[in-house]
A and B are shown apart, each in its own frame.
Chain A
């Protein structure tokens, strides 16, 4: 069976959930090989979890340069591995970094780029003749598209939360590979990093539950009602553009066409009318629950369960119910 390279997304010695989703997707195509690019000693910390999600091999590319420059060290390592291992595909997370890595890798290796997949299919069955088809959801979920690469090795970026991770035992056999020296004239040096201080809530695009508030929340102070429900679920907090533009919540939490695209298991919309702008960022959620005063609000057209009512009555009651259930 041919190898499928999976770039491991990790921060501070911990693997991001999307990596497990990538490993799961890789098993549709062939045998997953995890690629760890990081500072010396990183792979040792990650190996066990990679094995638990079916990584047959772990390529270890460790050096100080690997974390000293933006994006390019990962592209360098993957490009060398594409040449050496002739994989059936390369999968990376469709994050800001991942999309850039995928784009550069495709350009450098003369390969086809499949962007922001929510699923991966192999139309040839597993084996050496794998035909990789990416399932994509575009225009904010209005169209579902299937596409394939015509050249080189398919390079696929996969949307976090797009598919579900499943465990499988893998050997996780380590193999050290070089990190090519960085060309200073062509690279951007990282001189400092400030991780996001988002508190204890999960990241918006990684969360399995998202609770969002819209204009109906009415003020920044009253967003507390959204946060309390989110915390009961262990969810991320989102906001509609209307809420962000009104200054109720910071822009980095905006869900919608000009904000983040999320596809959690459960999306709870509080006081959000459901303009196309907003729906584009959340309509691929598995289950949508909406609370709005206006029975005509378009959000009800896509909600699996809707309550016409005052969010300040409904949300606290739901918070209490969820608390009881989890308590």
Chain B
């Protein structure tokens, strides 16, 4: 009966315009519509599928501003049992390593974790490294970019799918898994699930609650910092012609002039 922690993250909707704030080059989280990152729904779904087959408990974990409660509620309404939310103004501007350290500490607050499941890459930061860094910090094996997960007793098998192809992986629990796009189709929360989610426990921690000094996190102590950030000058529209039966030839002429063919 695996005890599963699923990581979820509230991200700016990729269909809206995303900005960096002028003052400190951090993500302007207020300016864009926020949603539960799509890949996280697949992570939650996978946890629920394992629970339905083998029992156990699913805890949702999110590190982020108060707005992250929306993402947590969505995961709970899909069927997760409880949630842990780490929210602390001191976290603002934390780098991926600091954030991973906080997540690892928060995972430590959940008893007897067998499996940590995350999305393989968030659509905002796109570092694609958080699950691997967590495995490093927790001392767990990493089975990332999964398109299929099988758990048998204390061992886990994963089919990893990347640009390189498929890699079959095997390890012992506890382990960190990240899921890719193809793993499953996430369910929609039912009305009953949405109602039930309102009564599910959400435990909130500050950084200090996790035994981490506020001075270790946040923009001022990040392991990397942004020197300058500028909106890319919008690509100017180039030439445009209407096809008069010679559109292909026109493109070829352009490409030849540009030395591209």
Contacts and interface: CB of A to CB of B under 8 A. Distances in A.
A326 to B, nearest CB: 7
A233 B133 contact: no
B1 interface: no
Interface residues of B, number: 85
Nearest to A293: B243
B167 interface: yes
B103 to A, nearest CB: 12
Nearest to B169: A188
A108 B38 contact: no
A291 B143 CA distance: 41
B89 interface: no
B214 interface: no
Given A99-B129, A302-B237, A321-B248, A308 B243 contact: yes
Contacts of A260: 163
A186 B141 contact: yes
B74 to A, nearest CB: 18
B248 A314 contact: yes
Interface string B224-247: 111111111011011111110111
A303 B100 CA distance: 39
Interface in B207-233: 222-232
A290 B251 CA distance: 9
Interface stretch (A33-41, A173-181, A190-198): A190-198
B171 interface: yes
A146 B129 contact: no
Interface in B196-210: none
A170 B163 CA distance: 30
A191 to B, nearest CB: 5
Given A141-B232, A191-B170, A305-B238, A258 B181 contact: yes
Nearest to B140: A186
Interface string A105-117: 0111011111110
Given A116-B126, A187-B171, A305-B254, A107 B100 contact: yes
Given A150-B224, A188-B158, A305-B251, A107 B137 contact: yes
A194 B248 contact: no
Contacts of B163: 95-96, 196, 203-205, 252, 260
Interface string B112-136: 0000000010011111111111011
Say which size band chain A's interface belongs to: 35 or more
A171 interface: no
A150 B242 CA distance: 52
B168 A191 contact: yes
B59 interface: no
Nearest to B162: A96
Contacts of A266: 255, 260
Contact of A307 (B19, B145, B241): B241
A322 B132 CA distance: 44
A189 B145 CA distance: 15
Contacts of A103: 96-97, 100, 127-130, 132-133, 136
B223 A143 contact: no
A263 B222 CA distance: 29
Interface in A285-327: 287-289, 291, 295, 300-310, 313-322, 325-326
B240 A100 contact: no
B25 A189 contact: no
Nearest to B145: A96
A325 B222 CA distance: 52
A95 B71 CA distance: 28
Given A189-B169, A265-B260, A145 B226 contact: yes
Contacts of A321: 248-249, 251-252
Nearest to B176: A188
A301 B14 contact: no
Interface in A248-287: 251-252, 257-258, 260, 265-266, 275-277, 280, 283, 287
B17 interface: yes
B224 A96 contact: no
Interface string A27-64: 00000000000000000000000000000000000000
A313 B123 contact: no
A71 B134 CA distance: 14
A251 to B, nearest CB: 6
Interface in A51-105: 70-72, 75, 94-97, 99-104
Interface of A: 11, 70-72, 75, 94-97, 99-104, 106-108, 110-116, 133, 137-139, 141-152, 154, 184-196, 203-205, 209, 233, 251-252, 257-258, 260, 265-266, 275-277, 280, 283, 287-289, 291, 295, 300-310, 313-322, 325-326
Given A100-B128, A104-B136, A313-B245, 16 more contacts: A70-B144, A100-B142, A115-B125, A115-B128, A142-B18, A148-B225, A150-B223, A151-B223, A191-B157, A191-B168, A193-B165, A306-B240, A309-B242, A309-B247, A321-B248, A322-B255
6 interchain residue pairs of minimum CB distance: A309-B243, A317-B248, A103-B129, A321-B252, A100-B132, A318-B248
